[in-house]
């Protein structure tokens, strides 16, 4: 007789009851994981154990009538990770993205998180992942703001008023703690206005929609870029004021002069080294076109910046092994490409909370495995 295996299924409502929207707690969990990343107590996919994940992309044309075709933000993505320390759990985020979905009453991307016993490989939880993913994504710049924003930063500009931009703002507000004014820029002005109105109502901060990108950036001590990647955000060096912190969660370009004088800090330089290496495998004319850090990868390739592995990750700053902000005038750029360690670590916290609260549905994999 083999071993019975059961796991917990958590739908979106269960994850809410288990605290998935608690951004402040997510930031604390991520702070722990940032330290594990710099200590090396984690594994992600690929030969170098640092892959963001593997993408399933459809062809531009197909002879098969049912096969989906390529398009903006159209992909499936498998993102596996092991997170060490007290977590000691393996898992994966699996999602698909289709920009037509909102017209069908669905989110653009639909995500699930699976957790496994790292030793036996048995599933321990299958969970609705949209909120795990959006809160974990927003919380990263929140942790970065806590460590890298200048003291007393008062003005935050959010570029992109979609779900990720909103999640980033929520965490930056907590991480910074001294914000007074929020400026929103979105190519769809009504979205910026609605977001500004919601911030004023919910937090009592002054908030407004900017007329243009330059005005929005010039105003800010902290800039969060989370616009969709279809139209890249292009900024100029002299728009970014002394002491500013800019955080790329979505794609953004700044003219090269900026990177000659600003300090660059990654979420995890080891993952960006893998991205960089993957670009080198592409034909020359296709390199450094898509991705959040591509402008910087290109500058590294052209010898204008030091190799990616020599650069600083936020975990190094949190551990105190490398300098973060050294003075109030310094300009800092933080880049986050997203990693499955966040989904697995934050998912694990939600799973643990759900168990304590008796939430979810226990599903049986088998009473005794047929093939054992
Ligand atoms: N780094 C990470 O961990 C991570 C994780 C998830 C998503 N993302 C990225 O975050 C971005 C935003 O995701 P989302 O789900 O909120 O997308 P979304 O498409 O729902 O919303 C994005 C918003 O940006 C606006 N926008 C588009 N181009 C713009 C521009 N040039 N200037 C200003 N506003 C612009 C759109 O009008 C929209 O309101 C995407 O690029 C996504 O790939 C990053």
Would the pLDDT of 85 be above 70? yes
Q: Which residues contact 357 (CB under 8 A, 6 or more apart)?
A: 17, 18
In this structure, the answer to whether residues 88 and 234 fall within a common structural domain is no
In this structure, the answer to whether residues 87 and 154 fall within a common structural domain is no
* Torsion from C-alpha of 344, 345, 346, 352, nearest 10 degrees: 100
Q: Which residues contact 323 (CB under 8 A, 6 or more apart)?
A: 312, 317
CATH code of the domain containing 355: 3.30.1780.10
Q: What is the DSSP letter of 106?
A: S
The ligand 1 atom at the shortest distance from the C-alpha of residue 248 is 1
In this structure, the answer to whether residues 298 and 354 fall within a common structural domain is no
CA 360 to chain centre: 26
The pLDDT of residue 229: 66
In this structure, the answer to whether residues 94 and 162 fall within a common structural domain is no
Ligand 1 pocket test: pick from 159, 209, 228 the residue with the most ligand atoms within 8 Å of its Cβ: 228
Q: From the CB of 137, is ligand 1 less than 6 Å away?
A: yes
In this structure, the answer to whether residues 236 and 123 fall within a common structural domain is no
Would the pLDDT of 15 be above 80? yes
For residue 249, count other CB atoms closer than 10 A to its CB. 27
Q: From the CB of 228, is ligand 1 less than 6 Å away?
A: yes
In this structure, the answer to whether residues 116 and 94 fall within a common structural domain is yes
In this structure, the answer to whether residues 108 and 154 fall within a common structural domain is no
- Report the chain's mean pLDDT, rounded to a whole number: 96
323 assigned to some structural domain: yes
The ligand 1 atom at the shortest distance from the C-alpha of residue 134 is 6
325 assigned to some structural domain: yes
Cβ(245)–Cβ(145) below 8 Å: yes
The pLDDT of residue 50: 97
pLDDT greater at residue 291 or residue 235: 235
Residue 136 phi, psi (nearest 5): -65, -35
Mean pLDDT in residue range 203-225 = 97
What is d(CA 322, CA 180) in angstroms, rounded to the nearest whole number?
30
In this structure, the answer to whether residues 305 and 345 fall within a common structural domain is no
The ligand 1 atom at the shortest distance from the C-alpha of residue 109 is 15
For ligand 1, atom 26, which residue shows the shortest CA distance? 227
In this structure, the answer to whether residues 76 and 154 fall within a common structural domain is no
Would the pLDDT of 58 be above 90? yes
Domain hosting 54: range is 5-133+341-366
What is d(CA 230, CA 168) in angstroms, rounded to the nearest whole number?
19
CA of 135 to the centre of ligand 1 (A): 14
The pLDDT of residue 290: 84
112 assigned to some structural domain: yes
129 assigned to some structural domain: yes
Q: From the CB of 165, is ligand 1 less than 6 Å away?
A: yes
What domain count does the chain have? 2
CA of 53 to the centre of ligand 1 (A): 19
In this structure, the answer to whether residues 32 and 81 fall within a common structural domain is yes
Would the pLDDT of 342 be above 80? yes
CA of 249 to the centre of ligand 1 (A): 8
Mean pLDDT in residue range 326-355 = 97
The ligand 1 atom at the shortest distance from the C-alpha of residue 337 is 1
In this structure, the answer to whether residues 213 and 323 fall within a common structural domain is yes
Write out pLDDT tens, residues 100-124: 999 999 999 999 999 999 999 999 9
């Amino acid at each position: 007789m083999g071993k019975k295996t059961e796991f917990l299924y958590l739908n979106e409502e269960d994850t809410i009851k288990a605290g998935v929207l608690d951004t402040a707690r997510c930031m604390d969990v991520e702070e722990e994981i940032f330290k594990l990343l710099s200590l090396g107590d984690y594994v992600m996919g690929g030969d170098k154990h640092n892959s963001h994940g593997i993408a399933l992309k459809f062809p531009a044309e197909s002879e098969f009538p049912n096969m989906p075709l390529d398009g903006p933000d159209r992909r499936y993505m498998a993102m596996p990770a092991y997170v060490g320390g007290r977590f000691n759990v393996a898992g994966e985020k699996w999602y698909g993205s289709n920009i037509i979905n909102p017209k069908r009453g669905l989110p653009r991307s639909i995500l699930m998180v699976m957790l496994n016993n790292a030793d036996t490989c048995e599933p321990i939880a299958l969970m609705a992942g949209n909120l795990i993913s959006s809160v974990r994504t927003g919380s990263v710049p929140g942790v970065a703001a806590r460590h890298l924003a200048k003291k007393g930063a008062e003005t935050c500009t959010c570029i992109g008023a979609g779900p990720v931009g909103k999640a980033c703002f929520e965490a930056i507000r907590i991480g910074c703690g001294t914000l007074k004014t929020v400026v929103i820029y979105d190519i769809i002005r009504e979205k910026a206005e609605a977001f500004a109105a919601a911030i004023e109502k919910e937090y009592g901060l002054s908030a407004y929609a900017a007329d243009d990108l330059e005005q929005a950036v010039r105003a800010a001590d902290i800039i969060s870029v989370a616009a969709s990647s279809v139209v890249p955000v292009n900024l100029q060096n002299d728009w970014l004021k002394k002491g500013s912190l800019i955080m790329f969660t979505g794609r953004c370009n700044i003219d090269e002069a900026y990177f000659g004088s600003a300090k660059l800090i990654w979420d995890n330089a080891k993952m960006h080294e893998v991205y960089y290496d993957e670009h080198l495998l592409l034909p020359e004319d296709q390199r450094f076109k898509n991705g959040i850090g591509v402008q910087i990868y290109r500058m590294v390739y052209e010898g204008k910046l030091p190799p990616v592995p020599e650069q600083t990750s936020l975990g190094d700053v949190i551990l105190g092994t490398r300098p973060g902000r050294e003075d109030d005038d310094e300009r800092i750029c933080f880049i986050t490409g997203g990693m499955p360690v966040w989904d697995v670590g934050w998912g694990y916290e939600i799973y643990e909370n759900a168990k304590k609260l008796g939430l979810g549905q226990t599903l049986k994999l088998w009473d005794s495995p047929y093939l054992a």
